[in-house]
Amino acid sequence: MKSTNELKANIKKYILEASLSDVKDVEDDALIFENGLLDSMGLLFLIEFLGESFQVEVSDEELNPKNFESINNIVSFVSNKLSVKV
């Protein structure tokens, strides 16, 4: 299983590559939707990325700011899902 740091690095790399803005870096606790890094399609593609890369499936109920508003929140959401799986 990937370490939290590896997980964070992968997710951050994906978000920076997928972002519609020209930012080179993003703080781990920055609000990625509020800052315009990702829009609704960006969120949809992020969910696809999480499924393909970590086999994490997201339900309607899990789609909330607590799980998705920043890189830290996404990492913690994915870590929890993976630990439950294991």
- Contact status: 25 vs other proteins (CB under 8 A): no
The token duo for 13 is 């790399």
- Contact status: 37 vs other proteins (CB under 8 A): no
The token duo for 23 is 């930012």
- Block residue for tokens 């930012």: 23
C-alpha–C-alpha distance, residues 55 and 48, integer Å: 9
- Contact status: 83 vs other proteins (CB under 8 A): no
For other proteins, the closer of residues 3 and 60 by Cβ is 60
The token duo for 66 is 């607590």
**Which residues of the shown chain bind other proteins in the complex (CB under 8 A)?**
31, 33-34, 36, 38-45, 47-48, 51, 58-60, 63-65, 68-69
